[in-house]
Structure 1
Amino acid sequence: MATYTTNHAPSVLATHSWRTAQNSAAYLFPHLTPAMQILDIGCGPGTITVDLATHIPEGHITGLEYFGDPLPAARSLAASRGIKNITFTTGDIHSLPFADNTFDVIHVHQVLQHIADPVAGLREMRRVAKPGGIVAARESDRFSWFPANSGIEAWVDVTTRVQRAGGGNPHPGSKLHVWAKEAGFELEDHRVKRSAGAWCFSTPAEREYWGGGMARRMEDSGFVEKALAEGVPREELGQIVAGWREWVDDKEGWFGVLHGEILCWK
């Protein structure tokens, strides 16, 4: 089962919709060819999926989501951009609804940290990859920010606690290759390529997108109910909201997210 700690509330989809192939999957670009068959797991509102479709004009991409809620918006986005080599459907990464050796590339972004068994997920991704195919994963690993902010510190602590309580594996970017090895990929002979990427938010618009979005999640998303159920006081959630809004308003505000990335060849 998936263990996603929030839902697809507007505050969540707003942050996910910022993600594009350029800012979230560029490490995969050198390995794409025009006629590939790609599976994008955890596609959400489809912004990365639709972008990837433009890189494989003779191929096809399937966006898979555990929850069906965001898929109408994903289909509308594809239609608005005239993207036809794309399909969206539902399914579980732990038991993918596809035959062995189906895809040239299987991609996940910020998915493995939210599932009950990331090794089983990677094993399933390996199963549906063609011989010589690629499994690509990118997950957050570390946060940094300026200036010091006790509300953001509490946000890191609370989100980590709630995700672990739900069976997730928060911020695993630095150990993706270990999970890949356990899933059957060979680390030797360059069969697993490890790299890192980053997001940075510092302009007024970027601070409002990131900090404002995190504040709204602490006010109105599925995460709130789960945090309260884990014993997090509502007052602490309010302090987190205040901390994010203080950071958004600070002209010197800076926030960085370090991601781990892997490319695994079957």
Structure 2
Amino acid sequence: MAQAASAPKAYFQGHDAAVLRSHASRTAQTSAAYLIPHLKPGFKILDCGCGPGTISVSLAELVPEGSVVGIEPAGVSSTVLENARKLAAEKDVDNVKFEIADIHNLQASFEAGSFDVVHAHQVLQHISDPVKALKEMRRVLKPDGILAVREGDFDGMTMYPDLPALHRWRQLHHEVAEASGGQPNAGRRLHAWARKAGFEPSKMIKSASLQSFMDYEGVKWWGQMWEERMRGTEFRKRALEGGKATEAELDEIAEGWKQWHESEDAWFTYTHGELLARV
């Protein structure tokens, strides 16, 4: 997940190599399929928390007569947006640009009614005031514009083998996220947050999708990524500094992920809540 603007403390995952590999695997097709049928060629899209730009660039390809602006907060590493611009250049996509902007204060960067779509993927779970962010996202939408948000739901995960170390990982993830002001079960709350932000329930489309890791390649990719995150990324740092876990416990969780991705029977599913809401 890319860091949410204005709340660098809350984005506890950091931008280490293992995290960026996960972010860079996302495209509009894999992560915003619920939005694609509603796009029109001339749409102007704002992509909040764009990270390495893979979703932004693929959205730009779907609106060839329109444009996409991907944003990240001032505190994010300059390398993140540099890589996004490099990706756009490599793919020869010239209707996308990447800027610094604050999701809690979009009025400082964009006029009201500027976009046909405002999109965010795995962003709201990392910020302390998602309703405020949604109000700003609503403000920059055109009349009849579309809010599109997708968030994971950690309690909606299932796994096999049912290893104690992975149960502790999920518990620890909750503890670190909540200490940073985030909400790891954001997926189930999107419609409620949007209603508080002024979106009408009658103009909402609620859905959910499942991300799964069951074949050899998927299991290795997912498991090794989380093993690496437990061994030496921002998450580990936050867990230690916050007194949520010890070095030995984090090593044990990392070994649990190793055991999981080396199992011939490994299975993992991850539920995501999705919301489309019109102004």
Same fold by TM-score greater than 0.5:
yes
Does the alignment pair 1:169 with 2:183?
yes
How many Å separate the matches in 1 of 2:237 and 2:41? 44
Alignment of 1:229-244 (within 5 A): 229-231=241-243, 232-244=245-257
Aligned to 1:41: 48
Cα deviation code 1:49-95 (max 9, x no counterpart): 11111100000001111224411111111111111000001122111
Q: Cα offset for 1:116?
A: 1.3
The residue number in structure 1 matching 2:110 is 98
Match of residue 16 from structure 1: 23
3-state SS of the aligned residue for 1:98?
coil
**What's the TM-score, normalizing by structure 2?**
0.93
Give the structure 2 partner of residue 225 of structure 1. 237
For residues 217-250 of structure 1, the C-alpha deviation after alignment (integer angstroms, 9 at most, x for no partner) is 1112111111001111111111110111111111
Contact 1:23 1:199 in 2 (8 A): no
**1:21-70 Cα distance to aligned partner (Å, 9 max, x none):** 11110000110000000000111111111111110000000111122441
Q: Secondary structure at the match of 2:198?
A: coil
Q: Is this contact kept in 2: 1:11–1:220, CA < 8 A? A: no
Partner of 1:26: 33
- 2:164 matches 1:150: yes
CA distance in 2, matches of 1:139, 1:148: 24
Give the deviation of 1:5 after TM superposition: 0.8
Matched, 1:201 2:201: no
2: CA distance, partners of 1:94 / 1:166: 17
Structure 1 stretches lacking a partner, 5+ long: none
- Check if 1:185 corresponds to 2:199: yes
**4+ runs of 1 displaced by more than 6 Å?**
none
| Aligned counterpart in structure 1 of residue 134 of structure 2, from 122, 130, 153 | 122
**Does the CA-based 8 Å contact 1:8-1:69 persist in structure 2?**
no
SS in 2 for 1:138: strand
Task: Determine if the alignment matches structure 1 residue 61 to structure 2 residue 68.
Answer: yes
Q: Are 2:220 and 1:211 aligned?
A: no
Local SS of the residue matching 1:255: strand
Aligned residue identity for 2:256: G
Name stretches of at least 5 consecutive residues in structure 2 with no aligned partner. 1-5
Matched, 1:256 2:269: yes
Looking at structure 2, the residues matched to 144 and 90 of structure 1 have their Cα atoms a distance apart, in angstroms, of 36
Cα RMSD of the aligned pairs, angstroms, is 0.9
Alignment size in residue pairs: 264
